[in-house]
Structures are given as structure tokens and as C-alpha cells.
Structure 1
Amino acid sequence: MALFGAIIMAILKTTIIMILITIIAWSSEADQASQTVLISALQLSLELELEVVALVLSAAAFFFEHIRKIGCMHSLERTTVLSTFFEDPNSLNKVPCPSIYDPAEKYISLIIPAYNEEHRLPEALSETLNYLKQRSAAEKSFTYEVLIVDDGSTDHTSKVAFEFVRKHKIDNVRVLLLGRNHGKGEAVRKGMLHSRGELLLMLDADGATKVTDLEKLEAQVCALAKKTESSTATSASSSQRLSDAEIAVFGSRAHLEKQALATRKWYRNFLMKGFHLIVLLTAGPGIRDTQCGFKMFTRAAARKLFTNIRLKRWCFDVELVYLCKHLRIPMAEVSVNWTEIPGSKVRMTSILHMVFELLLIKVGYGLGIWKIYS
């Protein structure tokens, strides 16, 4: 709306200037020199106004074309079936990728997007797999898989990941290679769409959040599933599987905000507050910390969300919140333990990219250019 307002104001100013030029040109009272100076000044102002209008219109055309292309690409991705495989380094065979539309084969899938994480990934993976193995030994119904999505890394991330596949077997650890860098959002999306779990957990490759905290999110999912089941209690729904409920639970660092404000530089706090305000205006209230990389979804919720999501980089988390609201998927926020790990890939340019993506969400969905499929 602000864009159209600026264009209308520029057109009005241009019209007024043209009227003034006409009046001065036909005025007989003003001397010739004064008329010439005034006409020249008004003509210069008119040219500047027209250039501004042209620039604004060009920027708007580029922006809307970019949104349209994202929508077209998403439609193509939804209808195209790709022959994707996991590589098994032990047998050298190719294992077909499952689909989110297939029935669940595991209790939980852990999706780890990784881009140039050869140094941070080994420790995080070791801790994660040790926990999963211990819990699987204690609970026979607890079956798991870890899916590492290499987002076009230029270092030895894939080599490190395949070492874990050799050690833990491809039924438990899998590596999906994207070939080139798409962005964290796309890496998570691909992992979700090719997972086998009833529950699907995304977590960062740096191990900033303790994997044991998945039990907090898991408990919240189960509580919401029971609440949903009781509110629509029928003989048919009483036997509903956990994977059939539509639930999203977001790990949160909001409880650590005061500590972060005390230790960060003032400009970083200013940027953080500004970003949170824009997120609030884009996705609305409900989730305080949208950017924590620790989120759990039931299979049914992931199926709806990750076949709709369009953003491929920074703000796909905000888009998930937006989609949850519009698809009426229950959400909850759970506090998790979080430690800042050196090696963050967030830069000042990343902030600008985030703001741009938030604008894409607002305009793309707000004007109905992006459709939401249920």
C-alpha cells in the first residue's frame, strides 16, 4: 500500500507542476526572465519526479515478477516427481528416497541441514546418535533415522557425514546431497519430504541445542494430540496414530533474551528488536522465537507445511508460522537449552536478506499470488 501511495503522490505532484508551468507560460504580468527561470526549475522538478516514478515502477515490476517466479517454481516442484536416491557407502547400492506421502516407517526422523560443517558436525552427530542408540535400547518402539542434508558444501561435510553412514548403517543414518547451495530452508524442506518418521525434528548441525530436549517437544506434541483427540472424540478418532495428528512444536530461546540483551552490542540488540517487530507484523503473534533451529512436526503437519513452503533461505521459519495459522495447525512453543557455538553464518547482509524475505511473505500471500494448498 505504501508503494502505491508513493506512486499516486508522485503523479499528483507531476500534475500540479504541469499546471503551474502552463499558468506561468500564459501569464502576461511576469517578465520574460522570471518566466524562463521558473519554467526551467519546474521542468527540472518534473523530470526528477518522472524519473522517481519510473524507478519505483521498475522496482515494483521486478519485485512482483520475482514473487511470480517463486510461485511458478513452487507449482513445478509440487507436480514434478524426481528419481532421488540415497547412496550406501557400504554396499555401493542406491536406496530410493521415501516420500512424505508414504506411511511412517520410523518413530522419529531427525533432519540436519548442513553447509560447510565439517568441523562442527562430527561432535553434534556423535552426541545425537549416542542419545538415540541409548533410548532405542531402552524403548523397543523407539526407532529412528538421522538425515543429513548437505546443501552444496564446498568442504568435506559430505565425507564426514558418510563416515557416520558407514558406522551406523544406512537404515539409521542417511545423507542427501543437493549438489549446489540452495539455502537452509530448502535443505530442511528436502529432508522433511524424504523422511520416514511419525515425528520429524529439524535441528542445527552445530549442536547448539541439546538433542535430549527433543523429549520436551515430544511431550508437548503428545499432549496436543490428546487434547485434539478428546475435542473431536469419536470411535474412529480414538485409534488415530500420532503421525495423523497435525501439530507443530517450536523450540524457543525466548527465556534467554534478557541474558542475550546484556551481553550483546547495542546495535545487535537494535537489529534483533527491529527484526522481531517485522516478524510480528508479518506472521502475527503466537511464537516469540521463530528462528530457533529446533522444531518438531508430526508427519501430517509436515506434509502440509513443507509442500507449501516457498522460501529457501533465512525466513522459512517465519513462513512456517504463517502457514500453521492459515492451515489451522496447532502450534506450541517450548523452552530449550541453547548454547552459542562459534562459526555463525549470519552476517549484516543476511539481515537485509531476511527483511526482503519477510516482505515476500507479506506480499506473496497477502495479495494471493502464492496459493496455500490444504
Structure 2
Amino acid sequence: MGVLLTTLEFLASLLLIFLLGFVSVIVLEAYRRRHNNAHVEAPAMFEDPESLKQVPFPDIVDPAEKYLSLIIPAYNEEYRLPGTLNETMNYLQQRAANDKSFSYEVVIVDDGSKDGTKRVAFDFVKKYGVDNVRVILLGKNHGKGEAIRKGMLHSRGELLLMLDADGATKVTDLEKLENQIHAIARKDYHPGDSAAGEATFRISDIPIVAFGSRAHLEEKALATRKWYRNFLMKGFHLVVLLAAGPGIRDTQCGFKMFTRSAARKLFTNIRLKRWCFDVEIVFLCKWFGIPMLEISVNWSEIPGSKVNPLSIPNMLWELALMSVGYRTRIWKINS
């Protein structure tokens, strides 16, 4: 009986959240239209710590200038960020030394940190130069989704990888995602479609998304977690299924790779600013017909997670907004 009541209470809460989400979407969209400021972007700037000059960032609509961009959102990551950046830069430098055609950039997006994150980030800019490491300062905290969106929209890579500042996933695993994207792209590419043939093939022009996944670790996690955490996780998975549909088992892993074409379509439309932008990515991929790959990656629990039980209501709220916004067509999708 107790389990039944708990389930009914959970479902009733979901219904209430979705109803409130419907009202909120209407109000927010009316406000947006009234003030005519939807998706108005302030010019993104990065600072050269040597000259202290502000330099405009590139735009996702521009042609790619690098092969690989790595976007790292950082909020109060003074202590975890250095280890991740050291591991990342060591890998990138070694790969560039072995392959002269390989070019890269690391874009650190400081999401309004109140600690020494900005100082740590600029130390790496000074060490490796502004062509290889860049910092976007958001000024105030907007949320992980907004930080990644901003980084994606102002990156130069043919392939764009988002990865968390805690280093929970090994950066070398990006090759798993990269190789699968290339395999699918080559399979779908037809040289006969172009007079120039193979010479015109660029991975940046073919929309594909690869999701790093921890789904293969789920059985072990279920056995070690408290029952209520498993209940919340299963409930969240159910809501994700209702909001975005099936296709990706692990939407929340912070390790995803996008071709430039896919990033352009997705991140010019993303609206959710915090935790559930990953689910919105799945929804938009289905809308645009962008192939989605789910690839197992190595992952380890790192102390200092920003997610806590209080995040669950916020996640459900964002999913309700997304579901109502898109399904009622109040949220428009730009092609």
C-alpha cells in the first residue's frame, strides 16, 4: 500500500509540474515576444592575458578553422579544473606532435565562478597561448547548459566535444566517439553527389552526434546505491522517456561530440540553461533527423558533484517546460 501511495504521489507531482510548466511557457513566451529579445546574443569576447585586449570570438556559422574544439564549462572549479586541463593538454599536444594535420583548441567557459576558476583558466592561456586555449567569461552564473551553448557557438572546430571540468571521463575516450562519427559519415557520404568527389568531403558538414555513455555501468550502480536514489533515477528516466522519447539510455553523461553542422543546428535552438539541456539535445536531434550514436566510455565518480537531491525538482521543471514548449509549438525551432 505504501509503495502504491508513493507511486501515485510521484505521478500526481509530475502532472502538477507539467501543468505549471504549460502556464510558465505561455507567460515566458509572451514576455519574450513583447520585449522582442529572444536569442539576442551579446557579442562574445575573450581576453588575451598578455595584451589584456578584448578580442571577438568566432561564430558557429563561420567555416571551421581547427579540427577539434573541446568545450569545458566551469563553475567554481578552482581545484578540479587544473588536473583536467593538464591531462587534456598533455593528450592534445602529444597527438599534435604525432600528427601535423591535427589542430585543436580548448574553450573554457567560466559560468560566473566565485572562486579562483578564472585565474586557473588564464594561467593555461598564458602557458599555451590564446590560439590553443581560450576563456569565455559569462559574468554571472547561468547554468551548465548555457555555458556549453555559449562555448559551442563560439568554437572553431570541425568536431566539437563537451567535457566536464571534473575529468570524470578520460579525454582519450574522445577517439571512440571520433572514430564512430567518421565511420558513420563515410558510410553516408556519396562522392557521386559532387563533381569534386572525395576532395569536398569534410566531417564538419555532416550532422552527427555521439553521446558518451555510462549505461554499461548501471547494473553496478544499482547494486551500490540507496533504494531511494535508484527510485529517483528510474523516475527521472521515465520522465526523460516521456519528454524526448527512446533512443539514448544515458542522456546526462557530460561527454558528447558534435560535428560542426550538428552543433550549428542544435545550439542555435537550445533553450534550457541548466541540467536538462542534454535531453533537449536528444529531442532536437530527432526533430532534425540527426543520427545519434551512444558509445560506452570510461567514467569514475569524482568528489564535488554539483548535482544533489534538490536538483531533481529543477530537472523535472525543465523537462516540463521543454515538453510543453515544443509540443505546443510555442517554442519555435529555427532550421
Q: Same fold by TM (over 0.5)?
A: yes
1:210 equivalent to 2:165? Answer: no
Aligned to 2:55: 95
The one of 215, 218, 225 equivalent to 2:185 is 225
1:91-143 superposed Cα distances (whole Å, 9 cap, x missing partner): 22222110001110000000000000001000011000000000000011110
Amino acid at match of 1:351: I
Indicate conservation of the 8 Å contact 2:170/2:298, yes or no. yes
Aligned to 1:68: 29
Aligned to 2:70: 110
Give the structure, 1 or 2, with the largest relative contact order (CA under 8 Å, sep 6 or more).
2
3-state SS in 1 of match to 2:37: helix
1:165 equivalent to 2:125? Answer: yes
Indicate conservation of the 8 Å contact 1:74/1:310, yes or no. no
Indicate conservation of the 8 Å contact 1:249/1:332, yes or no. yes
Which runs of 5 or more residues in structure 2 are unaligned? 1-15
1:178 equivalent to 2:110? Answer: no
Structure 1 CA distance for aligned equivalents of residues 172 and 135 of structure 2: 22
* TM-score in terms of structure 1 length: 0.81
- The aligned runs of 1:1-374 (5 Å cut-off) are 62-68=23-29, 72=33, 76-78=37-39, 80=40, 82-230=42-190, 233-235=193-195, 238=198, 239-374=200-335
Indicate conservation of the 8 Å contact 1:114/1:148, yes or no. yes
Moved more, 120-129 or 82-91: 82-91
Structure 2 CA distance for aligned equivalents of residues 122 and 316 of structure 1: 26
Indicate conservation of the 8 Å contact 2:110/2:137, yes or no. yes
* TM-score in terms of structure 2 length: 0.90
Amino acid at match of 1:301: A
3-state SS in 2 of match to 1:174: strand
3-state SS in 2 of match to 1:348: coil
Structure number, greater radius of gyration: 1
Structure 2 CA distance for aligned equivalents of residues 82 and 277 of structure 1: 37
Structure 2 CA distance for aligned equivalents of residues 257 and 249 of structure 1: 19
Give the number of the structure whose residues are more often helix, by fraction.
1
Structure 2 CA distance for aligned equivalents of residues 150 and 297 of structure 1: 21
Which runs of 5 or more residues in structure 1 are unaligned? 1-54
1:163-211 superposed Cα distances (whole Å, 9 cap, x missing partner): 0001010100001000000000000000000000000000000000000
How many residues are matched?
A: 318
3-state SS in 2 of match to 1:199: strand
CA gap of 1:290–1:237, structure 2 versus 1, over 3 A, is farther
Cα RMSD over matched residues? 2.2
Q: CA deviation at 1:240?
A: 2.5
3-state SS in 2 of match to 1:250: strand
Aligned to 1:48: none
